[in-house]
Amino acid sequence: MRILGLSALYHDSAAALVVDGEIVAAAQEERFTRRKHDDRFPRHAIDYCLAAGGIALGDIDHVVFYDKPFLKFERLLETYVSFAPKGYKSFRIALPLWLREKLFQKDLLAGELKDMAGGTFDAGKMLFTEHHLSHAASAFFPSPFEEALVLTLDGVGEWATTSAAIGKGHSLDIFKEVHFPHSLGLLYSAFTYYTGFKVNSGEYKVMGLAPYGEPRFVDTILEHLIDVKPDGSYRLNQDYFDYCTGLTMTNARFDALFGAPPRKPDKDLLTPFHMDLAASVQKVTEIVVEKLARGLQKETGQRKLCMAGGVALNCVANGVLHRLGIFDEIYVQPAAGDAGGAVGAALAAYHIHHGRPRTAGLDRMRGAYLGPEFAQADIERRLAAAGAVFEVLSDDELIRQSAEALAAEKAVGWFQGRMEFGPRALGGRSILGDPRSPTMQKTLNLKVKYRESFRPFAPSVLREHVADYFDYDADSPYMLMVAPVVEGRRLPMTPEQEALFGIDKLNVPRSDIPAVTHVDYSARLQTVRAEVAPRYHALISRFRDLTGCPLVVNTSFNVRGEPIVCTPEDAFRCFMGTGIDVLAVGNCLMHKERQDPALALNYETAFELD
């Protein structure tokens, strides 16, 4: 049975192909169109998935959309009615868009599919799942667990903002929900907006900024904005928010509570005040997630947890949950946001709608390496056409020279195998560096990524050595767990350094792997196994042989505002527009100084800032 899952028309459109219960391919539309968070119908992603499966659209048994538009429209109308006459301006803007594009999405989707199929497509093949069921299915069905609690946390689906389900075999039953307008995800997004970052893309910046501040507003948030019960259920005080009926996330009463207007990113600098706000909402998020987890575990007795939804990308909260030991094992869907709904919708149709059995025991996301790959001959042809100067090396020589470049503190672009599905680069489309370098974080942020200097970088560490460096001894293949650096590798701080605050903390090395150690001595881990990512594991192993260090800096292969690179041409352009020193694409190796200077680009201003 061939099932195509779609996530589209809100943000982060994606497609996924499931054949007989196995995930064959999945990709976000943005990677092909080069438009960050592209929300349009995922025509390119569908084309890729069909090509990867060797089938045509007419061969598909079902096309499954990841939510139910009529339920969303019901929520829109009921919300405006309940708040009327407040919010008329927002309603006047939103209603025509819904009537024109969203309410009749089945017709819109069927029309797009018909066009792709050459004029004929059976709309009877279309199915629709509820948003949170898609999320839950994306987490449980690929997980290795036979039975688990499934927790979904996001902004909002149709009505649900938080849901709990039990997965058993091929069944998945949601038994508890929190409904809009009460939303942990929207609370975090409100602070994202208030601190001057973009909603639905800047939340991870708030998470990265949090360790620079002090959580001094936690009591204010818990007293005025969110009422959290002992079991983790919660309600938001709508007197302080404007997202139900207005055009912004917060209102004047929110401003008065914290004593300032929202930060204007193009005018106002980040201050310790904004860092304290970030630290506070992050701490509140951790409190709510912990209470939810404890309450649901006590209620269900489940010892394994699966997570999905945008809030599940908060790897700091995930790390706290892991260290608490409430569950024996935790599995987080690597594409936990809306893009992953495409995978969940397809799997829900296969296992729930059709009742097909499921085999537990393996991670069916395949390391998230579900995107396009390129044969060596194709890579060489594409790079030559782009004007690249490269040498073709054996596997061993490529690994050796790349590892030596890393040991020489050079930034290495690493483009190998299949592209990752989800927001994290995991060694398929990555920029790599030496974690021992005290200047690597600043170099990568300012000269390669062209992004804010406070942003931390992640280590990719050999699974067999993770406990030597971090207070963590389990798998974290998807960079969705944060753990502390072990005490023995930390560097003591002087009284003068202890007295620093805010961004001034950035330049103080915290450990013998300073490039991946955040200011609170934490790191966002990716563990690498040879059987999942053999070439990446071989590179890190060779770097270890040269330096004694079994990990590398790993950041996504893109600049700020750009989608992660997809093709060899994308990689070469980014290489020529940034401070990347060396580029490895397949078995082709390129050095910046050997390239034609006429091909140099300015990527610093090439993309709209996120």
Please report where in the chains the tokens 């955040």 appear, as a residue: 518
Where does the pLDDT of residue 107 fall: very low under 50, low under 70, confident under 90, or very high at 90 and above? Answer: confident
Where does the pLDDT of residue 605 fall: very low under 50, low under 70, confident under 90, or very high at 90 and above? Answer: confident
Task: Give the Cα-Cα-Cα angle 259, 261, 263 (nearest 5 degrees).
Answer: 120
Residue bearing the bigger pLDDT, 176 or 89: 176
Is the domain of 527 the same as that of 471? yes
Residue 148 inside a domain? The answer is: no
Residue 161 inside a domain? The answer is: no
Q: pLDDT tens digit string along 199-221?
A: 988 999 999 999 999 999 999 99
| Dihedral sign from CA coordinates of 537, 542, 545, 550 | negative
Is the domain of 125 the same as that of 266? no
Average pLDDT over residues 125-142: 96
CA distance 492 to 477: 30
The per-residue pLDDT for 507 is: 78
Determine the number of helices (DSSP H) and then strands (DSSP E) in the chain.
20, 21
Beta bridge partners of residue 470, listed in sequence order: 485
Alpha-carbon distances of 301 from 145, 286, 328, rounded to whole Å: 15, 21, 12
Is the domain of 234 the same as that of 265? yes
List the catalytic residues: 11
CA distance 549 to 460: 11
Average pLDDT over residues 237-255: 90
Helix (H, G, I), strand (E, B) or coil at 189: helix
Residue bearing the bigger pLDDT, 610 or 392: 392
CA-based max dimension of the chain: 72
**Which of these, 289, 361, 276, 292, lies nearest to 319 by C-alpha position?**
289
The per-residue pLDDT for 92 is: 61
Strands 226-228, 234-236: pairing is antiparallel
The per-residue pLDDT for 93 is: 62
pLDDT above 90 for 176: yes
Based on C-alpha coordinates, what's the Rg of the chain? 24
The per-residue pLDDT for 94 is: 62
Q: pLDDT tens digit string along 518-549?
A: 999 999 999 999 999 999 999 999 999 999 99
In one letter, which amino acid is 110? Answer: A
Residue 155 inside a domain? The answer is: no
The average confidence (pLDDT) of the chain is 93
The per-residue pLDDT for 65 is: 95
Is the domain of 226 the same as that of 357? no
| HEC string for 42-101 | CHHHHHHHHHHHCCCHHHCCEEEECCCHHHHHHHHHHHHHHHCCCCHHHHHHHHHHHHHH
Q: What is the DSSP string of 240-271?
A: GB-TTTSSSSB-HHHHHHHTSPPP-TTTPPP-
CA distance 189 to 201: 9
Residue 294 inside a domain? The answer is: yes
Share of the chain above pLDDT 90, in %: 80
Which bin fits 548, alpha (ψ -120 to 50), beta or left (φ > 0)? left
Q: pLDDT tens digit string along 583-603?
A: 999 999 999 999 999 999 988
Share of the chain above pLDDT 70, in %: 94
Residue 147 inside a domain? The answer is: no
Is the domain of 583 the same as that of 546? yes
Please report where in the chains the tokens 């594991």 appear, as a residue: 537
Kindly state the DSSP code that residue 487 receives in the 8-state scheme. G
Q: pLDDT tens digit string along 388-433?
A: 999 999 999 999 999 999 999 999 999 999 999 999 999 999 999 9
Tokens of 309: 């939804």
Helix (H, G, I), strand (E, B) or coil at 355: coil
**Which of these, 595, 593, 581, 558, lies nearest to 384 by C-alpha position?**
595
Tokens of 609: 């800032």
Core vs surface per residue 323-350: b (16+ CB within 10 A) or e:
eeebbeebbbbbbbbbbbbbbbbbbbbb
Is the domain of 326 the same as that of 363? no
Residue 528 inside a domain? The answer is: yes
CATH number of the domain within which 72 lies: 3.30.420.40
CA distance 134 to 156: 13
Where does the pLDDT of residue 77 fall: very low under 50, low under 70, confident under 90, or very high at 90 and above? Answer: low
Task: Give the Cα-Cα-Cα angle 347, 533, 530 (nearest 5 degrees).
Answer: 120
Is the domain of 451 the same as that of 484? yes
Tokens of 457: 């970088």
Q: Which residues are within 8 A (CB) of 25 and not within 5 positions of it... i.e. 6 or more apart?
A: 16, 17, 48, 49, 52, 53, 370, 371
Looking at 313, 331, 349, which one is the last position of a domain? 331
| CB-CB neighbours of 227 under 10 Å | 13
Where does the pLDDT of residue 70 fall: very low under 50, low under 70, confident under 90, or very high at 90 and above? Answer: low
Name the helix (H) or strand (E) containing 386: helix 376-386
Q: pLDDT tens digit string along 430-479?
A: 999 999 998 888 888 888 888 877 788 999 999 999 999 999 999 999 99
Residue 149 inside a domain? The answer is: no
Kindly state the DSSP code that residue 506 receives in the 8-state scheme. G
Alpha-carbon distances of 183 from 26, 156, 199, 346, 499, rounded to whole Å: 28, 7, 14, 26, 37
Q: Which residues are within 8 A (CB) of 504 and not within 5 positions of it... i.e. 6 or more apart?
A: none
Beta bridge partners of residue 5, listed in sequence order: 16, 64
Is the domain of 304 the same as that of 212? yes
Is the domain of 263 the same as that of 213? yes
CA distance 415 to 558: 12
Strands 62-65, 2-7: pairing is parallel
Beta bridge partners of residue 482, listed in sequence order: 524
CA distance 270 to 272: 7
Looking at 331, 351, 384, which one is the last position of a domain? 331
**Which strands form 588-591's sheet, in the order they lie side by side?**
391-392, 588-591, 582-585, 412-415, 429-433, 551-556, 458-462, 522-528, 481-484
| CB-CB neighbours of 518 under 10 Å | 26
Is the domain of 235 the same as that of 314? yes
pLDDT above 60 for 573: yes
Is the domain of 385 the same as that of 473? yes
Determine the structural domain holding residue 473 and report its residue range: 376-599
Please report where in the chains the tokens 């600043």 appear, as a residue: 442
Name the helix (H) or strand (E) containing 540: helix 534-547
Residue 167 inside a domain? The answer is: no
The per-residue pLDDT for 72 is: 63
Number of domains in the chain: 3
Q: pLDDT tens digit string along 316-356?
A: 999 999 999 999 999 999 999 999 999 999 999 999 999 99
- Please count the residues of the chain: 610
Is the domain of 323 the same as that of 287? yes
Give the predicted TM-score (pTM) of the model.
Answer: 0.94
Core vs surface per residue 82-95: b (16+ CB within 10 A) or e:
ebeeebeebbeebe
Tokens of 450: 């062209």
Tokens of 177: 């929900």
Where does the pLDDT of residue 250 fall: very low under 50, low under 70, confident under 90, or very high at 90 and above? Answer: very high
pLDDT above 80 for 98: no
CATH number of the domain within which 507 lies: 3.90.870.20
